[in-house]
Amino acid sequence: MSAQTKKLAILFADISGSTALYEKLGDQRARVLIARCLFMLKSALNTHNGSLIKTIGDEILCTFPSAEAAFNAACEMQMSLHTDNQHTEHSMHIRIGFHYGDVLCEDGDIYGDSVNVASRVAAITRASQIMTTSAVVEALPVSLHNKVRKILRADIKGKQEQLDIHQVMWELEDMGSTRIGMPAFRKPIVEVAELTLSYRSQPHTVNMENKKLLLGRDNTCQMIIKNDFVSRQHANVELRSGNFVLTDHSSNGTYVRTSNGEVSRINRSELTLRGKGTISLGQHYSEDPVDLVEYEVLSQS
């Protein structure tokens, strides 16, 4: 069959923590759970006119005729797993990355730069997240634009310029209604606390009015920290479902020390901030960092 170039959405969906699952449950039990998870992922393809290209261990590669179809399929995959996890002893989680662009199709497989970009987006995605590119956002109908938000600029191998990476807000309370015919689960509205962060006596607040704060050495950040250990857009703190979540996007990682002296490190992962303490971007506390960010979660009034 001769090769054809088509404009498609390319989606990678990967089961998170499968190696640990095999170690914890044993090969047979883990294999059953992973097979069940893959079956649910593949079911979303039929609903949204997707094509399965290949299964690579615990990951699937598939294509869709439009960015919107891929968007809806990705949300259905996450929501299906979320619903299933309410009724199972061992929760499963997936990460999804997708891109939209020209693809070379030949002998049932796909090739090209767009495939590589989609793979790289999936690689920087965390469990239970959906990440995508500006090419997808531009191809989506306007009605879906409020379901995506730009969160970082990432280096993509083979690309001279960084690409804007967007997160798809698939969570049920954000989506309004599911794509699989079930009413969305909505958490009760509760009063949330407020987070204050201070760097060199300059305070910043994260609350219901200001839900996100970006930290880094780039001038586009709300909290600018000029230090060689700090990445341009190093990390962000976000109010999410009543919690203050610190997400690291950096090369050197982020360190958090609580008021009781416990130190945690995150690197391209997340940590929920509680109580009070300090944050060090890129440097371990054993190195006596000077550019510390103080934080405190204030109690509800």
Q: How far apart are CA 150 and CA 165, in angstroms?
A: 6
Q: Where does a domain end: 141, 175, 209?
A: 175
Q: Give the domain range for residue 244.
A: 194-298
Residue 133 CB-density burial (10 A; 0-12 exposed, 13-18 middle, 19+ buried): buried
Closest by CA position to 294, among listed 205, 191, 193, 192: 205
Q: How confident is the model at residue 27 (pLDDT cuts 50, 70, 90)?
A: confident
Q: How many CA atoms lie within 13 A of 237 on its CB side?
A: 30
* Shared domain check, 223 and 149: no
* Shared domain check, 147 and 207: no
Report the residue count for the chain. 301
Q: How far apart are CA 101 and CA 63, in angstroms?
A: 11
Cα distances from 7 to residues 10, 102, 130, 143, 260, in angstroms, run: 9, 4, 21, 22, 54
State residue 19's pLDDT score. Answer: 77
When mean pLDDT is compared across 22-36, 99-113, 146-160, 257-271, the lowest value belongs to 146-160
Q: Residue 179 pLDDT > 70, yes or no?
A: no
173 in Cβ contact with 187 (< 8 Å): yes
Percent of the chain with pLDDT over 70: 89
pLDDT digits (tens, 9 = 90+) for 63-97: 999 999 999 999 999 998 888 887 777 888 899 99
Q: How far apart are CA 220 and CA 202, in angstroms?
A: 17
217 in Cβ contact with 234 (< 8 Å): yes
Total number of domains in the chain = 2
* Shared domain check, 94 and 12: yes
* Shared domain check, 260 and 114: no
CATH of the domain at 143: 3.30.70.1230
State residue 91's pLDDT score. Answer: 82
Looking at residue 183, its amino acid is P
